[in-house]
């Protein structure tokens, strides 16, 4: 196809659209003319088809699309199969997010460069001048519009360049799957498998109750915390103080006698019985609003304050929220002292810890 010259300024003769010898381009141009559009410049990128340069460009664009497909597939494989949970001694989980970012980035760059190269180098250059008009379209106009679309599809070159069509299909289809990955990925990961979303490090292991320990792993006796004092405790298990059990940090509080009486009455009225041991009480530190550590304990008012958005929880009333955006109380850890005199958790938390997402009917 050679460069088509401008007809600007000249009155074109009306074409008979029923003539079967008319090409799609001629019908399209006639339609454009009837629509008041004048094609003043039309230049195909390769007047002679099948040249080395055209094939090279086709291969380049195809390569970009195939690269997109490969990167998208790699994204999906990593999303599904890469170990993403923290494992002690293994650094693989640290690579999970960077690898997703890398593969998605390569996929999007592949699409971008592919479309840019295709549009700039393989599509015809056309300049048209169009007048504006109102009203609906006649049967003829609709036929013209149909031919125009077919013509444009032909100009994209899929028919003449099957490799490009194949590469676009193989390369771009996985990108659509990648877009859907976050929606279906959760189902593939099975978040409910092994109850991992509903247990913490406090769940008894092999029937053995878990000790409350300091950050350095040493267990705690009641006399280690004076009245009015509090301490952040962790499950006394392997990796108890780690990201693996990031949902387990708990605040152990030694209440004064009066406060302990008030707390016990509220505790017993909560429907789960007494989770306290003596004057000691323990609540999850994970704020039920957005998951920050609620750790500012004001012993005069018995309020636990979350520094992120200033939610306050009243410890002597089952840690109910009394101020701020949190709307669910902090889960309470049932505690007792074992035969050796150390604090243990009688069971895991009886409610899910963390943000209000869990407060469902």
Instruction: Point out which residues bind ligand FES (CB under 6 A).
Output: 287, 289-290, 292, 294, 306, 308-309, 311, 324-326
Q: Which is nearer to ligand FES, 243 or 327 (CB)?
A: 327
Rounded least distance, CB 250 to ligand FES, Å: 16
- The β-bridge partners of 128 are 39
Shortest distance (Å) from residue 272 CB to ligand FES:
23
Could you tell me the sign of the dihedral formed by the alpha carbons of 159, 163, 164, 166, in that order?
positive
- Residues found in the chain: 361
- Between 58 and 250, whose beta carbon lies closer to ligand FES? 250
Three-state secondary-structure class, residue 218: coil
Residue 310 DSSP code: -
Q: Closer CB to ligand FES, residue 123 or residue 308?
A: 308
Q: Write the Ramachandran bin of 175: left for phi over 0, alpha for psi from -120 to 50, otherwise beta.
A: alpha
Query: Cβ 283 to ligand FES, closest distance in Å?
Result: 13
Residues in Cβ contact with 42 at an 8 Å cutoff, skipping those fewer than 6 apart: 3, 4, 124, 125, 126, 127
Q: Helical H runs in the chain? A: 24-34, 52-81, 92-117, 139-156, 162-189, 257-269
Which residue lies nearer to ligand FES by CB, 262 or 317? 317
Structure tokens that stand for 140 in this block = 């003829």
Q: Is 315 helix (H, G, I), strand (E, B) or coil?
A: helix
Closest distance of CB 284 from ligand FES, Å: 12
CA distances from 160 to 104, 153, 288 (A): 30, 11, 61
Nearer to ligand FES, 211 or 289 (CB): 289
Task: Give least dist CB 293 to ligand FES, A.
Answer: 9
Tell me whether residue 78 or residue 287 sits nearer to ligand FES (CB atom). 287
- Closest approach, Cβ 292 to ligand FES, in A, equals 4
Query: In angstroms, what is the minimal distance from the CB of 313 to ligand FES?
Result: 9
* Complex with ligand FES: residue 92 or 359, whichever CB lies closer: 359
Question: Alpha helix locations (H) across 247-354?
Answer: 257-269
| Distance between CA atoms of residues 285 and 331, nearest Å | 9
């Amino acid at each position: 196809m050679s460069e088509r010259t401008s007809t600007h300024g000249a009155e074109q003769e009306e074409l008979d659209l029923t003539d079967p010898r008319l090409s799609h381009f001629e019908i399209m141009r006639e339609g454009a003319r009837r629509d008041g559009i004048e094609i003043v410049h039309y230049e195909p990128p390769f007047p002679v088809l099948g040249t080395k340069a055209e094939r090279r460009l086709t291969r380049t664009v195809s390569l970009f699309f195939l690269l997109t497909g490969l990167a998208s597939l790699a994204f999906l494989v990593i999303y599904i199969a890469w170990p993403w949970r923290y494992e002690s001694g293994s650094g693989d989980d640290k690579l999970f997010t960077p690898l997703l970012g890398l593969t998605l980035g390569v996929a999007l760059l592949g699409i971008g460069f592919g479309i840019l190269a295709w549009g700039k180098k393989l599509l015809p250059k056309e300049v048209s001048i169009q007048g504006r008009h109102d009203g609906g379209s006649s049967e003829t106009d609709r036929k013209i519009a149909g031919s125009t679309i077919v013509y444009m599809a032909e100009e994209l070159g899929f028919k003449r360049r099957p490799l490009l069509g194949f590469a676009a299909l193989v390369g771009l289809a996985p990108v659509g799957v990648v877009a859907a990955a976050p929606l279906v990925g959760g189902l593939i990961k099975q978040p409910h498998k092994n109850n991992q979303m509903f247990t913490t490090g406090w769940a008894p292991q092999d029937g053995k109750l878990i000790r409350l320990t300091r950050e350095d792993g040493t267990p705690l006796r009641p006399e280690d915390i004076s009245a009015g004092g509090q301490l952040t405790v962790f499950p006394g298990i392997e990796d108890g103080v780690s990201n693996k059990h990031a949902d387990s940090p708990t605040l152990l509080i030694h209440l004064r006698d009066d406060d302990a009486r008030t707390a016990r009455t509220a505790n017993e009225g909560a429907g789960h019985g007494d989770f306290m041991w003596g004057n000691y009480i323990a609540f999850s530190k994970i704020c039920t609003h957005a998951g920050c550590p609620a750790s500012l304990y004001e012993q005069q008012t018995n309020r636990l304050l979350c520094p992120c958005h200033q939610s306050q929880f009243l410890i002597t009333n089952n840690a109910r929220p009394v101020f701020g955006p949190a709307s669910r109380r902090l889960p309470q850890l049932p505690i007792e002292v074992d035969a050796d005199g150390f604090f243990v958790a009688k069971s895991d938390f009886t409610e899910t810890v963390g943000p209000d997402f869990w407060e469902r009917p």
